A and B are shown apart, each in its own frame.
Chain A
Amino acid sequence: MKKITESNKNIGDILTKTYAEINERIKNGSVIVLTAEEMIDFVDEHGVKVAADEVDVVTTGTFGPMCSSGAFLNFGHTDPPIKFEHLWLNDVHAYHGNAAVDCYIGCTRMADISPFEYGGGHVIEDLVSGKPIRLKGNSYTTDCYPLAEVDTEFTIDDINQAILCNPRNGYQRYVCAVNSSEKTLYTYMGKLLPNFGNAHYAGAGSLSPLSNDPDYETIGLGTRIFLGGGIGYVIGEGTQHSPSNRFGTLFLKGDLKQMTPEYLRGVTYEKYGTSLFVGVGIPIPILNEGLAKKTAVSDESLLTDVVDYGVPRRDRPKLRQLNYKELKSGSIELNGKKIKCSSLSSLYHARKIAETLKNWILNGDFLLNPPAETLPTDTIFKPMKLTSELKFVKDLKKDAEICYEDCDIKIVAEKIVRKNINHIVITDRDHTLKGIVTSFDITKAIAEDKHELNEIITKRVFITKDNEPISNAARKMKINKISALPVIDDERKVVGIITSEELM
């Protein structure tokens, strides 16, 4: 670091640089490039002023699952020509709503055969690896496109264009996920153990591209970047770009033919589906002191929320705020307890990306350019507009037929017949839930010669609450193969029942 200071003495007190000046230095080999992690130490040692003066570019990197990724492909024409109606790449349905032989393969689309094992993300990895891809397609045929079917194999070299085009990549930061529920959850945030058994986070923290230019001064339409091991471009703000709460995103594109599988990896999250790990690195030109300060951002100052994925709603409860330093430490503190915490994205590869981009610039292979338009700083991420109102359990529940736990089986049976129902909820005298008995349980009791209600009650009962959306309750019944859920309040008192009949 000292050497850098000395070698640049003659630059004197220039506090601002232009893109042209930085590119001149890249070309003549005098450019000073640091990774975002190195910049932290440099600013710490020499201060912001010196850093702004001497450092030309800071490189960033991130390598994580980015579900909003995919590629446009053009296969060229057959003879006679075909206009695809449907097409599959290695059994993964590709989107075809464009011209005859264009398609978009999305990374989360799963294979028709063996879903949850192989998907669009794997097709992209295989394509970049040079492996042959099976293309099957059909058409309703037209006068200009008479061919009805194609079944062939191709590699990336055989097709005209292969363009990675990702509507949402490189989240500025992401939440830390935990699970308060009593069962293991399989989510896009990985496997979350019950009762706050573990925690997962994503993003490279102080090395993340948007964290180093949080006000989008240098990143925007046309910014040249590292993408998937090749050169790519930012082509605007990503979908769901939410700058006001520091959840900015990027829309990226690049030529898949230049990329390498090391930085594009197909993945499968158990019971969630497939995705694609994408490697992204963005160079930040140090045009002024402000950018020198911002690129020296530390993990301590990057905050995010611990969010409870045990609550299956859009606005999941935020349990506490923490910083990336704590996230990267291997455990986080929650309710006075230490919870093991790990990343879903690779810090090793993020560092390698920042390092690779640094070397490209040092070797004079990569020039920086100002964006034609910077990213918006005022857009808002709105929820979906629903024209039909969401129904909750309280809207559809009916009164539960209740018997006390010391009740005679015969009385329970009589009640089932008299009310023409299938479920009797069992409570104590205070209406606290104790179990459930179905008409089948009564039949079984007779078959097995059982006489005590206690012997036939199902005591471990799946429950719901008034404010649970009906679709969540329905999913609970379907997964657990049951036909009713008692509705209880916070004191476990029974306030109704919801059965599969109400859902039909």
Chain B
Amino acid sequence: MTVINVTLPFGLIKKVDDYSKVINVILEQHISVNILKFSTGQSGINLLLDIPEDKINSITEALQKNDIIVNKKGRVIIEIDLCIDCGACVSLCPTDALHMDEKELLEYSLEACIGCLICIDACPRFAIEET
């Protein structure tokens, strides 16, 4: 399984149960999905979904066809001055966006980050912030 972060923009939400649109699109692919997190953000309703890895392309396509945004951009920022390279966030990151480089220093990949924010409260130095 792999985790994706999707947003249903507020402009598309007319009725309260419109968020089910996201799920319906995925259910049409006849796969099981696990909702890890449901939240309302600044731009819309945000869902963190655990889906089978091999379906990621077809699901992304189907969601985008329905104007649902599949977030690819990173959503956290690491304060290098505060980080002590301990690694307490690394095991929590579902996409390896947070990982240790060959020198054992923390490295963050904005490209790989899906903005699940699971890492934020795991940092003992308050070095991870949501952008």
Question: B25 near A: Cβ within 8 Å?
Answer: no
Question: B90 near A: Cβ within 8 Å?
Answer: yes
Minimum C-beta distance from B98 to chain A (A) = 9
Complex Cα–Cα for A65 and B88 (A): 11
A-B contact pairs, 11 of them (CB 8 A): A63-B84, A65-B86, A65-B124, A190-B88, A191-B92, A267-B125, A330-B100, A339-B91, A345-B87, A346-B87, A346-B104
> In the complex the two chains form, is B122's CB within 8 Å of A270's CB?
yes
Q: A346-B85, A348-B85 are in contact. Are A190 and B122 (CB under 8 A)?
A: yes
With A267-B84, A340-B92 given, name 13 new contacts (CB 8 A).
A63-B84, A65-B86, A200-B88, A265-B125, A267-B125, A270-B121, A270-B122, A277-B84, A340-B93, A341-B91, A348-B104, A348-B105, A349-B85
**Interfacial residues, chain B to chain A (CB-CB below 8 A):** 84-93, 99-100, 103-105, 118, 121-122, 124-126
Minimum C-beta distance from B78 to chain A (A) = 15
Q: A277-B86, A344-B88 are in contact. Are A267 and B104 (CB under 8 A)?
A: no
Interface centre among B85, B86, B104, by most chain A C-beta atoms within 10 angstroms, is B86
> In the complex the two chains form, is A343's CB within 8 Å of B125's CB?
no
- CB closest chain-A residue, reference B122: A191
- CB closest chain-A residue, reference B124: A267
Complex Cα–Cα for A193 and B89 (A): 12
Chain B residues near A465 (CB, 8 Å)?
none
> In the complex the two chains form, is A348's CB within 8 Å of B88's CB?
no
> In the complex the two chains form, is A199's CB within 8 Å of B91's CB?
yes
Question: A342 near B: Cβ within 8 Å?
Answer: yes
> In the complex the two chains form, is A198's CB within 8 Å of B104's CB?
no
How many residues of chain A have a CB within 8 Å of chain B?
31
Chain B residues near A117 (CB, 8 Å)?
126
> In the complex the two chains form, is B91's CB within 8 Å of A340's CB?
yes
**Interfacial residues, chain A to chain B (CB-CB below 8 A):** 63-65, 117, 186, 190-191, 193, 198-200, 265, 267-270, 275, 277, 330, 339-349, 351
Minimum C-beta distance from B122 to chain A (A) = 4
Chain A residues near B103 (CB, 8 Å)?
348
Q: A191-B122, A268-B124 are in contact. Are A342 and B84 (CB under 8 A)?
A: no
Chain B residues near A63 (CB, 8 Å)?
84
> In the complex the two chains form, is A351's CB within 8 Å of B121's CB?
no
> In the complex the two chains form, is B126's CB within 8 Å of A268's CB?
yes
> In the complex the two chains form, is B84's CB within 8 Å of A198's CB?
no
Chain B residues near A342 (CB, 8 Å)?
87-91, 100
Minimum C-beta distance from A119 to chain B (A) = 11
> In the complex the two chains form, is A344's CB within 8 Å of B122's CB?
no
Complex Cα–Cα for A63 and B85 (A): 10
> In the complex the two chains form, is B86's CB within 8 Å of A344's CB?
yes
Minimum C-beta distance from A492 to chain B (A) = 23
Complex Cα–Cα for A200 and B91 (A): 7
Chain B residues near A275 (CB, 8 Å)?
124
Complex Cα–Cα for A340 and B86 (A): 15
Chain A residues near B89 (CB, 8 Å)?
342
- CB closest chain-B residue, reference A345: B86
Name the 3 nearest CB pairs between A and B, nearest first.
A342-B90, A267-B124, A342-B91
Interface centre among A64, A190, A345, by most chain B C-beta atoms within 10 angstroms, is A190
Q: A268-B124, A270-B121 are in contact. Are A343 and B92 (CB under 8 A)?
A: no
Chain B residues near A330 (CB, 8 Å)?
90, 99-100
Chain A residues near B92 (CB, 8 Å)?
191, 193, 198, 340
Complex Cα–Cα for A209 and B121 (A): 31
> In the complex the two chains form, is A198's CB within 8 Å of B91's CB?
yes
- CB closest chain-B residue, reference A274: B124
Minimum C-beta distance from B87 to chain A (A) = 4
Q: A268-B124, A277-B84 are in contact. Are A347 and B91 (CB under 8 A)?
A: no
Chain A residues near B84 (CB, 8 Å)?
63, 265, 267, 277, 346, 349
- CB closest chain-A residue, reference B103: A348
Complex Cα–Cα for A248 and B130 (A): 40
- CB closest chain-A residue, reference B119: A191
Chain A residues near B121 (CB, 8 Å)?
186, 191, 270
Chain A residues near B118 (CB, 8 Å)?
191, 193
Minimum C-beta distance from A372 to chain B (A) = 34
> In the complex the two chains form, is A346's CB within 8 Å of B86's CB?
yes
Interface centre among B93, B105, B121, B122, by most chain A C-beta atoms within 10 angstroms, is B122
Chain A residues near B87 (CB, 8 Å)?
342-347
Complex Cα–Cα for A391 and B127 (A): 42
Complex Cα–Cα for A237 and B102 (A): 35
- CB closest chain-A residue, reference B94: A340
- CB closest chain-A residue, reference B89: A342
> In the complex the two chains form, is B90's CB within 8 Å of A340's CB?
yes
Minimum C-beta distance from B118 to chain A (A) = 8
Minimum C-beta distance from A111 to chain B (A) = 14
Complex Cα–Cα for A64 and B86 (A): 8
Minimum C-beta distance from A427 to chain B (A) = 29
Complex Cα–Cα for A348 and B124 (A): 17
Q: A198-B92, A348-B104 are in contact. Are A343 and B86 (CB under 8 A)?
A: yes
Minimum C-beta distance from B49 to chain A (A) = 16
- CB closest chain-A residue, reference B126: A268
